[in-house]
């Protein structure tokens, strides 16, 4: 994966900077404003504008925000990471997977980056640009939160029986989290949550996965009624992750993005309620409060004096406007499809559209063309990932065989050295044998003389015994 030059988010107005290490010192001296990074994990064209929406929700106009497209392999380097005050990692329409067959390369790269950036056992991510200690805050949302859990040894699974959680969920918060700097500062700055204490927070859910086990040392900050983990922090508290959708803050313009897959699961009552939402309405839940908590978390509990409840509501409305084009586009597309379905044939539809000046069919054709291009791009990416996996497997086999050959060669070398040592030892024994042979011959001659003397001694002994008998 290529490491991107950090660029200011492409969809919003800010000053561009070059993130190459050669210009890092110049950049730091020139820029004293707070610096943040957005790692964008979405490549679906239907979510165009998401980066600007996130920066509106969690950023300020007087801050510098850099935009990285994780799907294109863009991730902050260690040097760039050290210059940031906080990092936001977005959600995604992709499934969160880690180290499995078919996992896209960019997902594995992002997971590895999250593992290093959120694990306090990696000191290279605990330093600022001057080498001092620094704890960069990281906000991981939905997909990113799941990937962070997987990369750090946690477990994430699909909701059983193909389930999909959609709608409001009440979360219970821990007392320790309610006492945290971010939570307390959010209450002081943006107002109280719906229950007045923050013991229960109501959020919008739209997900098909869930946290099954947290990483070692991680702590759950909120849980749902059935005990399911909703929000959590890493061991040293530098990362806050959640699995609910922040998009309920702009629900009136985002609902169409999930309608197609969930229409069968929605009741007529909920559909009617969604239809009654006015364009300027904000949802009646704790979405705004949690966005405020995240803003305070990214700034380590320090918020600007000009921020208050109305400031946050304005930011949320501005965030919604960045995606409002999608709602208008959907209305145009749906109207065009309805008009085309009501006419007897495609030829008549085109002729009628030309006669009444309607551009709806053209909009539909552009939409279908964009969708086809997106599908083709995803298919190409999957094929590329498959080919890459096969090549990686072949390369792994070659490396294995090479290592095996090298190991065998080392063992054969060791055996050869042992045999050579044995030859030397045997030669030394032969030399010693040759030197000992004359001495052994002399010893044998002496043994012969000793035998003769022993025979003579026995004869003398017999003669003495005979003489003694005579004397008696």
The 10s digit of each residue's pLDDT in 49-81 is 788 889 999 999 999 999 999 999 999 998 899
**Is 238 or 277 the better-scoring residue by pLDDT?**
238
If one compares 332 and 329, the residue with the highest pLDDT of the two is 332
The reported pLDDT for the residue numbered 247 is: 52
Percent of the residues in the chain that have a pLDDT greater than 70, as a whole number: 71
Mean pLDDT for the chain overall: 76
Q: How many CB atoms lie within 10 A of CB 11?
A: 16
Residue 156 has pLDDT above 60, yes or no: yes
What is the average pLDDT across 30-58? Answer: 85
220 pLDDT above the threshold of 60:
yes
Alpha carbon distance 363, 76 (integer Å): 38
**What is 97-154 written as a DSSP string?**
--S-TT--HHHHHHHHHHHHHH-TT-GGGSB-TTS-B---EEEEETHHHHHHHHHTT-
Residue 40's CB is within 10 A of a number of other CB atoms, namely 24
Q: How confident is the model at residue 320 (pLDDT cuts 50, 70, 90)?
A: confident
Length of the chain: 472
pLDDT interval class at 451 (50, 70, 90): confident
* 158: DSSP letter: E
Is the model's pTM score more than 0.85? no
Residue 238 reports pLDDT greater than 50:
yes
Rounded Cα–Cα distance for residues 85 and 59 (Å): 12
Choose among 98, 183, 189, 73: nearest CA to 148: 98
Query: Torsions phi, psi of 453, nearest 5?
Result: -65, -40
Question: What percent of the chain has pLDDT above 90?
Answer: 30
Whole-angstrom Cα distance, residue 204 to residue 403?
A: 53
Angstrom CA distances, 7 to 67, 203, 299, stand at: 6, 33, 21
pLDDT at residue 357 above 70?
no
Q: Could you write out the three-class secondary structure of 336-351?
A: HHHHHHHCCCHHHHHH
pLDDT of amino acid 6: 35
pLDDT tens for residues 268-307? 444 444 444 444 556 678 888 999 999 999 999 999 999 9
Please state, in angstroms and as integers, the Cα–Cα distance from residue 356 to each residue in 27, 350, 362, 381, following that order: 56, 10, 13, 42
> What is the pLDDT, as a whole number, of residue 361?
44
What integer is the mean pLDDT of 169-179?
93
- Give the pLDDT score at 327: 58
* Residue 171 or residue 259, greater confidence: 171
Contacting residues for 326 by C-beta, under 8 A, at least 6 apart: 46, 48, 49, 253, 254, 256, 257
As a whole number, mean pLDDT of residues 6-27 equals 35
pLDDT interval class at 309 (50, 70, 90): very high
End-to-end CA distance of the chain: 120
Contact 97, 107 (CB under 8 A): yes
More confident residue, 266 or 431: 431
What's the rounded mean pLDDT across residues 5-25? 35
Question: Is the predicted pLDDT of residue 86 greater than 90, yes or no?
Answer: yes
């Amino acid at each position: 994966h290529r490491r991107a030059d950090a660029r200011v988010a492409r969809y919003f107005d800010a000053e561009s900077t070059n993130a190459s290490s050669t210009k890092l010192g110049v950049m730091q001296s020139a820029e004293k404003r707070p610096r943040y990074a957005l790692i964008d994990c979405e490549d679906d064209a239907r979510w165009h504008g998401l980066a600007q929406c996130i920066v509106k929700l969690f950023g300020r106009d007087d801050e510098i925000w850099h935009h990285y497209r994780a799907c294109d392999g863009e991730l902050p380097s260690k040097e760039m990471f050290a210059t940031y005050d906080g990092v936001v990692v977005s959600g995604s329409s992709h499934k969160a997977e880690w180290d499995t067959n078919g996992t896209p390369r960019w997902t594995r790269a992002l997971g590895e980056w999250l593992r290093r950036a959120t694990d306090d056992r990696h000191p290279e991510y605990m330093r600022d640009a001057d080498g001092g200690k620094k704890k960069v805050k990281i906000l991981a949302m939905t997909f990113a939160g799941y990937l962070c859990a997987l990369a750090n040894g946690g477990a994430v699974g699909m909701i059983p029986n193909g389930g999909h959680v959609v709608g409001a969920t009440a979360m219970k918060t821990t007392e320790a989290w309610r006492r945290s700097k971010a939570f307390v500062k959010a209450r002081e700055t943006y107002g109280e949550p719906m229950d007045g204490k923050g013991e229960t927070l109501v959020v919008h859910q739209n997900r098909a996965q869930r946290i099954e086990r947290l990483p070692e040392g991680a702590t759950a900050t909120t849980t749902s009624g059935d005990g399911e983990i909703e929000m959590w922090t890493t061991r040293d508290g530098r990362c806050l992750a959640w699995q609910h959708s922040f998009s309920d803050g702009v629900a009136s313009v985002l609902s169409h993005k999930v309608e197609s897959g969930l229409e069968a699961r929605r009741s007529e009552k909920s559909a009617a309620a969604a239809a009654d939402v006015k364009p300027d309405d904000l949802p009646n839940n704790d979405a705004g409060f949690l966005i405020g908590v995240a803003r305070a978390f990214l700034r380590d509990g320090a918020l600007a004096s000009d921020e208050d409840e109305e400031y946050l509501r304005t930011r949320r409305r501005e965030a919604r406007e960045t995606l409002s084009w999608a709602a208008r586009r959907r209305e145009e597309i749906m109207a065009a499809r309805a008009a085309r379905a009501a006419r007897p044939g495609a030829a008549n539809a085109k002729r009628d559209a030309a006669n009444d000046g309607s551009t709806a069919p053209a909009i539909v054709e552009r939409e279908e063309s964009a969708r086809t291009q997106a599908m083709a791009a995803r298919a190409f990416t999957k094929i590329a990932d498959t080919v890459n996996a096969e090549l990686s497997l072949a390369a792994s086999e070659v490396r294995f065989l090479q290592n095996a050959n090298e190991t065998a060669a080392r063992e054969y070398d060791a055996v050869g050295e042992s045999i050579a040592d044995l030859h030397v030892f045997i030669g030394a024994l032969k030399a010693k044998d040759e030197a000992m042979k004359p001495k052994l011959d002399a010893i044998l001659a002496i043994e012969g003389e000793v035998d003769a003397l022993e025979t003579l001694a026995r004869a003398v002994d017999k003669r003495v015994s005979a003489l003694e008998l005579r004397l008696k």
